Amino acid sequence: MRSLAVRRTTTLATAFGIALVVFVLASSLMLGAGIKKTMGSSGRPEHGFVLRKGSDAELASSIENRLVSLVLAAPGVARDSAGAPIGVGEVVLVIAAEKEGTEGQVSNVQVRGTTEAAFALRPEVHIVAGRRAQPGTDEVMIGSRIRGRFKGVDLDRSFELKKNRPVKVVGVFESGGSSFESEIWADIDTVRTSFGREGVVSSVTARLDRATNFEGFESTVETDKQLGLDAERENVYYDKQSEDTMKFVMGMGIVISVLFSVGAMIGAMITMYAAVSQRRREVGTLRALGFSRFAILTSFLIEAFLLALLGGAVGAAFASAMAFVRFSMMNFATWSEVVFSFTPTPKILIMSVLAGGIMGVLGGFFPALNAARTSPIEAMRG
Amino acid sequence: MNIAEIAARNVLRNKTRTLLTMFGVAIAIVAFILLRTVLDAWMVAAEHAAKDRIATRHKVTFVMQLPKRYVEEIRNTPGIKDVTWMNWFGAKDPKNEREFFATIAVDPKSFLQVYDEIVIPPDQIESWLTNRRGAVVGDVLAKQRGWKVGDRITLRGTIYPGDWDFQISGIYSAKRKSMDRNTFWFHWDYLNESAPLRARDTVGWIAARIDDPARAASLSQAIDKKFEERDTQTLTMSERAMNVSFLGMLSAILRALDIISVVILVIMTLILGNTIAMGVRERTHEYGTLRAIGFLPRHLVAFVLVEGMTIGILGGGLGLLIAYPFVNHGLGRWLEENMGGFFPYFRIENTTAVAAMGLAIAFSLIAAALPAYRAANLKVTDALRRVG
């Protein structure tokens, strides 16, 4: 341990290199976890999610309005105290909105035409500013993550869904970090009339009595081939939606981390070779005193491991600070922007620090072997 | 023996270390080139976009269509040469549902006029024009799926429900790097007559060639103004502006890659600086001697800088040697074939290679600067007194 302190600059440089690697590795894993959390918490296993058969996203799906009540009447659908089924048919669209602070740059935002029933279905959705929109009006609510990101998309401001059809933002909601927080929620009829979607919905979501009731629900909804409907668990749907984006981010992160770690290992190797050669005499003495080759090898490996662990810990600490950064990215499945956050989990942090440690050990192995091979006689002579 | 030679010999002094450092620099250069190429591959869509093409879509959402009659109105706008229209079809191959490719309904004749970068053998064009169920597919897509001219295939619609039968009439390649070679083009008429009533005679977007690329912005405005008071308003943009706005949606990730590519160079500098600093420290005694026999501080600076630069150049060169086959033939080929929609063209740009080399040299000089400064400021007596 003390030998690390001797060559301060060199040690610091190496540790810093490993810190950067661990930082990048941890950050990309955290972003992956963030995407998973955002999309994963949008869908629940006890929700049945119905689209038109053949559609793989809400955007492409349209279901006749009369089928909504049919789906909600299927066995297994939970009912509230008044005996009404808990569920909702919604229209989902993507609109081009002008980004705040840019000159005419547009980006896609998802708009959900929904009803009061959405709040009963998704109790995690709660207003954090303003109030709920009045049903049947041109009032809308926005998710907290897109607040202020687009022109007019902020509390008490308004924007146009269609020419001369401005909608007013009356509330901002949160939903436990799910992707709904990157959406605009408007009244279903406002959306329908603005976009010529009269008489249809995009999807129907229903709460089930128990998550295990899904099979019964699914077979009822899909049995009548005339209806042309396809049921899925809601969480399965959202997992599929995020799959491509996630693969992309993780793939990128891993390729970069691997390249980085090779660099850091080389850095560690250089440092350790220097450490070994400077202490050749010392090592020779130790050998002469009767320390085994194995003991020498281990002592150098421990030195490298500690060095890397130190760097790793610093890297992980900085990566944790990324938790406050919001990362806006296009979801490849919906072509709309979703805002993700870096989500540090203990597992990711521990794993990245350990990965740093392993890099140190791998990088230190050959130099340590070199040291262990030292012949005491030669070392003490030279 | 001149000064440069001495410096070069110093490089060979500790072979393992020099080799490792070179390798470290090489890896950093590979990573740098890889990241820049990813960025370039994205920018390709914007940079190589046709300057004389504009596209008109629904103002608010791409989910909604424009009335077909808008095509004629745009054609009659002064300054417009050719016009064509398309619909996003969004179908999947039932045999392989997971792999995405674009399926788009076009009016073949005007389509080939407006998109003149598309290359199809003349006999295949002939048979496409006459076969209502005919489709042309990109060479990359055809290779990936094993489709050949004449094959009959069935696709399953996600937006337009049902199974749709097609026959491959031709396979296209492209003269322009920004053109996706993974797309499936087929007759708009075939889609229109089988589409549900409410979707009939509507088009997803309208693309037009214009006389004068410089007027793209004003023409776009003129078109949008024309439809301003109608039921359906439009948004018209040049192809380049459209691609740029698409990139805007990925801006966070582009920025992240940008930052990481710089971080790589910093790591490289650390490794390099480390090596050189060690070398200088080990040679303190010698430098003292050199100073004592009359070499000036600037000679010592030159020794160290040249040593650093040599490693930088060798490492950078090695990096380029690794990067070219790796990116252009391994990863790039794979990405073009599997993610062609996002990376239609994934190759190292010459400017990237030159920049990488230049940066390797620049950063190696920076890395050597501090050790060089230290060597130059050594007091002869201190250096000689100090025990190695």
How do residues B72-125 score in pLDDT, each as one tens digit?
Answer: 999 999 989 999 999 988 888 888 877 778 899 999 999 999 998 899 999 999
Cβ of A273 within 8 Å of Cβ of B16? The answer is yes
What's residue B103's pLDDT? 92
Cα–Cα distance for residue pair B100/B248, rounded to 1 Å? 22
Cα–Cα distance for residue pair B168/B117, rounded to 1 Å? 20
Same-domain check for residues B95 and B190: yes
Residue A24, both tokens = 């990048």
CA distances from A129 to A155, A174, A180, B11, B248 (A): 8, 9, 16, 65, 29
- Show which of residues 65-104 on chain A sit within 8 Å of chain B, judged by CB atoms: 93-96, 99, 102
pLDDT digits (tens, 9 = 90+) for A269-297: 877 787 777 777 778 888 888 888 888 88
CB B250 within 8 A of CB B345: no
For chain A, say whether B217 makes contact (Cβ under 8 Å): no
For chain A, say whether B161 makes contact (Cβ under 8 Å): yes
pTM over 0.90: no
For residues A158-166, give the mean pLDDT: 83
Considering its fold, how many domains does chain A have in total?
2
For residues B245-264, give the mean pLDDT: 78
Range of the domain at B10: 3-46+251-385
Task: Kindly tell me if the per-residue pLDDT of B385 is higher than 70.
Answer: no
Same-domain check for residues A137 and A264: no
What's residue A364's pLDDT? 84
Cα–Cα distance for residue pair B68/B78, rounded to 1 Å? 19
Same-domain check for residues A74 and A160: yes
Cα–Cα distance for residue pair B79/A154, rounded to 1 Å? 40
Cβ of B252 within 8 Å of Cβ of A328? The answer is yes
Which letter does DSSP use for residue A134 in this model? P
| Dihedral sign for Cα atoms in the order A227, A232, A238, A242 | negative
Smallest Cα distance from A92 to chain B, Å: 10
For residues B59-65, give the mean pLDDT: 81
Q: Which residues of A touch B260 (CB under 8 A)?
A: 24, 256
Q: Can you tell me whether residue B47 is helix, strand or coil?
A: helix
Same-domain check for residues B19 and B61: no
What's residue A1's pLDDT? 47
- Show which of residues 284-323 on chain A sit within 8 Å of chain B, judged by CB atoms: none
For chain B, say whether A250 makes contact (Cβ under 8 Å): no
Task: Kindly tell me if the per-residue pLDDT of A122 is higher than 60.
Answer: yes
Chain A to chain B Cβ contacts (< 8 Å): 138
Considering its fold, how many domains does chain B have in total?
2
* Burial environment of residue B88 by CB neighbours within 10 A (0 to 12, 13 to 18, 19 or more): middle
CB B138 within 8 A of CB B102: no
| Dihedral sign for Cα atoms in the order A4, A10, A14, A19 | positive
The H or E element that residue B224 is part of is helix B216-226
Smallest Cα distance from B256 to chain A, Å: 10
Residues near A145 by beta carbon (within 8 Å), at least 6 away in sequence? A181, A182, A326, A339
Q: What are phi and psi of A29, to 5 degrees?
A: -65, -40
The H or E element that residue A88 is part of is strand A87-98
Of A335, A336, A330, A339, which is closest to residue A149 (Cα–Cα)? A339
Cα–Cα distance for residue pair A64/B196, rounded to 1 Å? 14
Same-domain check for residues B191 and B59: yes
CB A61 within 8 A of CB A203: yes
Cβ of B274 within 8 Å of Cβ of A195? The answer is no
- Show which of residues 190-209 on chain A sit within 8 Å of chain B, judged by CB atoms: 195-196
What's residue B69's pLDDT? 92
For chain A, say whether B245 makes contact (Cβ under 8 Å): yes
Same-domain check for residues A280 and A358: yes
CB A165 within 8 A of CB A128: no
pLDDT digits (tens, 9 = 90+) for B326-372: 887 777 777 766 665 566 677 788 888 888 888 888 888 888 888 88
- The chain A residue lying nearest B267, using CA atoms, is A17
Task: Kindly tell me if the per-residue pLDDT of B304 is higher than 80.
Answer: yes
Q: Which residues of B touch A161 (CB under 8 A)?
A: 60
Smallest Cα distance from B17 to chain A, Å: 6
Position A269, amino acid: M
For residues A136-155, give the mean pLDDT: 91
Q: What is the mean pLDDT of chain A?
A: 84
For chain A, say whether B56 makes contact (Cβ under 8 Å): no
Task: Kindly tell me if the per-residue pLDDT of A97 is higher than 90.
Answer: no
CA distances from B79 to B115, B212, B224, B306 (A): 17, 7, 14, 60
Cβ of A263 within 8 Å of Cβ of B268? The answer is yes
For chain A, say whether B250 makes contact (Cβ under 8 Å): yes
Q: Residues of chain B with pLDDT > 70: what percent?
A: 93
What's residue B343's pLDDT? 67
Q: Look at residue A49 and tell me if it is in a domain.
A: no
**Residue A7 banded pLDDT, cuts 50, 70, 90:** low
Smallest Cα distance from A187 to chain B, Å: 17
Same-domain check for residues B63 and B207: yes
Same-domain check for residues A117 and A195: yes
CB B279 within 8 A of CB B13: yes
Residue A314, both tokens = 């610093």
Boundary (domain end) residue, out of B160, B179, B211: B211
Cα–Cα distance for residue pair A96/A195, rounded to 1 Å? 13
For residues B221-225, give the mean pLDDT: 91
Task: Kindly tell me if the per-residue pLDDT of A382 is higher than 60.
Answer: no
**Residue B285 banded pLDDT, cuts 50, 70, 90:** confident
For chain A, say whether B61 makes contact (Cβ under 8 Å): yes
**A104 compared with A141, residue with greater pLDDT:** A141
What's residue B257's pLDDT? 82
SS (H, E, C) B271-310: HHHHHHHHHHHHCHHHHHHHHHCCCCHHHHHHHHHHHHHH
Cβ of B61 within 8 Å of Cβ of A195? The answer is yes
Of A180, A37, A162, A67, which is closest to residue A114 (Cα–Cα)? A180
Cα–Cα distance for residue pair B204/B62, rounded to 1 Å? 7
Cβ of B59 within 8 Å of Cβ of A260? The answer is no
For residues B248-275, give the mean pLDDT: 79
Same-domain check for residues A68 and A179: yes
Cβ of B263 within 8 Å of Cβ of A24? The answer is yes
For residues B165-190, give the mean pLDDT: 90
Interface test with A, best of B35, B253, B264 (most A CBs within 10 A): B253
Same-domain check for residues B30 and B120: no
Same-domain check for residues B105 and B24: no
ipTM of predicted assembly, 2 dp: 0.70
Cα–Cα distance for residue pair B195/A155, rounded to 1 Å? 41
**Residue B388 banded pLDDT, cuts 50, 70, 90:** very low
Range of the domain at A29: 2-40+241-381
- The chain B residue lying nearest A329, using CA atoms, is B250
Cα–Cα distance for residue pair B217/B219, rounded to 1 Å? 6
The H or E element that residue A336 is part of is strand A336-341
Same-domain check for residues B288 and B352: yes
Q: Look at residue B181 and tell me if it is in a domain.
A: yes
Cα–Cα distance for residue pair B69/B85, rounded to 1 Å? 11
Cβ of B64 within 8 Å of Cβ of A53? The answer is no
Q: Look at residue B240 and tell me if it is in a domain.
A: no
Q: Which residues of A touch B267 (CB under 8 A)?
A: 17, 20-21, 260, 263-264, 267
Q: Look at residue B235 and tell me if it is in a domain.
A: no
CB A12 within 8 A of CB A230: no
* Burial environment of residue B165 by CB neighbours within 10 A (0 to 12, 13 to 18, 19 or more): exposed
Same-domain check for residues A218 and A284: no
Smallest Cα distance from B59 to chain A, Å: 8
